[in-house]
Structure 1
Amino acid sequence: MVESFFDKKTECLTIHVKGRFDYSCHKAFKEAFTAVSKVKFYEVNLADVSYLDSSALGMLLLLRDHAGEEKAQIRLVHVNSAVIDILKIANFHRLFDITE
């Protein structure tokens, strides 16, 4: 399940993923970041993610491309230890700001 909230004051889009972060979330995840314009900061809350697969990694890369690649300001927050291990194996700690 994917929920999103845009704070107009800070221009931050928060995307909260719950449960399995896999291909079943693709449409909702993409809609969350393409439906809002004038976003300066992105925050992906992974606190409630129980599973993450390669399609989730691909979705994070799509978000990064959409947000401006190297100029993108994306934080992956509240990442649990199992998910952070996967992100580190994929070298995503080099592409995203990740906090537990």
Structure 2
Amino acid sequence: MSISIATDDKKDYVTITIIGNFDFSLFNDFRNAYTDLEKSYSLYIVDISNVEYLDSAALGMLLSMKNTVSGNATIQLKGANDFIKNILMISRFDKRFDIK
């Protein structure tokens, strides 16, 4: 389980990549990934293409991120496998996030 962060100041976005299980064990690391940035971005991409498991704590962490980042910013959930995409759709996250 790990998190990596890549920023592109010219294109004004940040990518937060999660590998492994996205669960409560990543709470602090995930929160720090978007709160410890030097600036706010217009696009936050959460790359979950390498996530094998996602629990309710992860859903809560995504909602917390949505409430924390700038109101004008877009949060894109990218690369979800079919199982995780189904969880996101059932939870109606497609209404709050851009799911790719």
TM score, norm. by length of structure 1: 0.92
Task: Name which of 44, 47, 57 aligns with 1:45.
Answer: 47
Q: Any idea what the Cα deviations from partners look like across 1:14-55, whole Å, max 9, x if unmatched?
A: 000110000011111000000112311100000000000000
Deviation, structure 1 residue 68: 3.2
Q: In structure 2, what is the Cα distance between the partners aligned to 1:5 and 1:47?
A: 15
Q: In structure 2, what is the Cα distance between the partners aligned to 1:58 and 1:68?
A: 18
Structure 2 residue aligned with 1:20: 21
**Identical pairs, percent:** 36
Q: In structure 1, what is the Cα distance between the partners aligned to 2:30 and 2:40?
A: 18
Q: In structure 2, what is the Cα distance between the partners aligned to 1:51 and 1:82?
A: 9
Where does structure 1 lack aligned partners over 5 or more consecutive residues?
Answer: none
Where does structure 2 lack aligned partners over 5 or more consecutive residues?
Answer: none
TM score, norm. by length of structure 2: 0.92
Q: In structure 1, what is the Cα distance between the partners aligned to 2:89 and 2:10?
A: 32
> 1:55 aligns to what SS in structure 2?
helix
> Is 1:4–2:1 an aligned residue pair?
no
Q: In structure 1, what is the Cα distance between the partners aligned to 2:42 and 2:80?
A: 21
Q: In structure 2, what is the Cα distance between the partners aligned to 1:38 and 1:97?
A: 18
Q: In structure 1, what is the Cα distance between the partners aligned to 2:20 and 2:97?
A: 21
Compute the RMSD of aligned alpha carbons: 1.0
